[in-house]
Amino acid sequence: METHVDASKVSDVCRKVCNSWSWPSNAVCCSKGTRIMVGWDANLVDVMMLSQSDQVMHTQVVFKLDQKTLFCSFVFADNHYKNRRLLWSNLCIHHSFMKDNPWVVMGDFNSSLFLEDSLASTSSSSIGMRDFKECVNKIEVFDINSSGLHYTWTNKQKQGAVFKKIDRILGNNSFIDHFPTAAASFHPYRISDHSPCILGLPNVTKEKPKPFKFVNLLVNKKGFSDEVKRVSDTQVQGFMMYQVVQKLKALKRPMRKLFKQQGNLHEKVKVARKNLDDCQRALDADPTRLELKNQHATFVSMYMEAVKDEALFMQQKSKVD
């Protein structure tokens, strides 16, 4: 992922996001802050850092499930086309080492590739676009199958709005041969200015269901005392400690039901997220529609409020965990 985190704070940030993952960055290559961080679960993949610069990190990924190997380059291109030429040169050099290996290049290229990648497209390509296209042709990669938003970046202005596709997931022929069902998805950008891009690969393991954890927020909810009293009054035969354990187990189902019906702030976030996603998809299809722009501002506010409420709830939950 691309970032602007200060180098001294990288470790603290990573500990808050999937603490058990490995999180290298290209901080040593950046003159200011950290531009790229790559994280992975060592239980699922082995990742080797091959090389890096301030605009790209080259990795080798081995999936433990089937021992398939994928070479992946994570890109965060510079804003200025002259500086991006260092990136294009780097990718061309790396291409000579890839040969027939499956290779995917993904991230923010800070440049459109085709004229239709910009809402206010012109009849001619810019210098930056021509440099980018020349690089793509040399390293022999292309857009993989994708779904979702077309315009992956916007300046989010009501007046003088700019919509562009500058985030991509590019792969070579060998990548398609090894991962024929791979697909990219570009999600609504919500409160960011970039659309998150996700590369979906086959044989992804499903997340294990989470164990029951009581959240003390429930004690203030209507019906909590009634459920506790009902279970407490239930007759259980056996030693006193056995009775306590069995009654606690019996409370799991009603507590889950109570949490879902009265204390589940996640549902509020889901509704707000869906409203915002739908609006942004409609705005992506018709960026000039004023009504959608006004609705978008409202949905952003509702979404941020719901996320804030959920965050407060999660803080309370973490104390129990």
- Contact between 303 and 190 under an 8 Å Cβ cutoff? The reply is yes
Residue 144 is predicted with a pLDDT of 95
In the chain, the amino acid numbered 148 is G
In the chain, the amino acid numbered 206 is K
**CA–CA dist 218, 240 (Å, integer):** 26
Residue 220 is predicted with a pLDDT of 64
* Residue 286: exposure state from Cβ atoms within 10 A (0-12, 13-18, ≥19): exposed
Query: Structure pTM?
Result: 0.67
**For the structural domain made of 2-200, what CATH number should be given?**
3.60.10.10
- Contact between 38 and 59 under an 8 Å Cβ cutoff? The reply is yes
Residue linked to tokens 């506010």: 301
Domain map (residue ranges) of the chain:
2-200, 222-262, 265-320
Tokens of 114: 């085709």
Residue 318 is predicted with a pLDDT of 60
pLDDT in tens, 31-81: 887 889 899 999 899 999 999 999 999 999 999 888 899 999 999 999 999
The dihedral of CA 285, 290, 291, 295: what is its sign?
Answer: positive
The DSSP code for 113 is S
Spell out, as residue ranges, where the chain has pLDDT lower than 50. 204
Sheet of strand 183-186: strand arrangement? 146-148, 183-186, 197-200
**What is the separation, in whole angstroms, between the first and last Cα of the chain?**
28
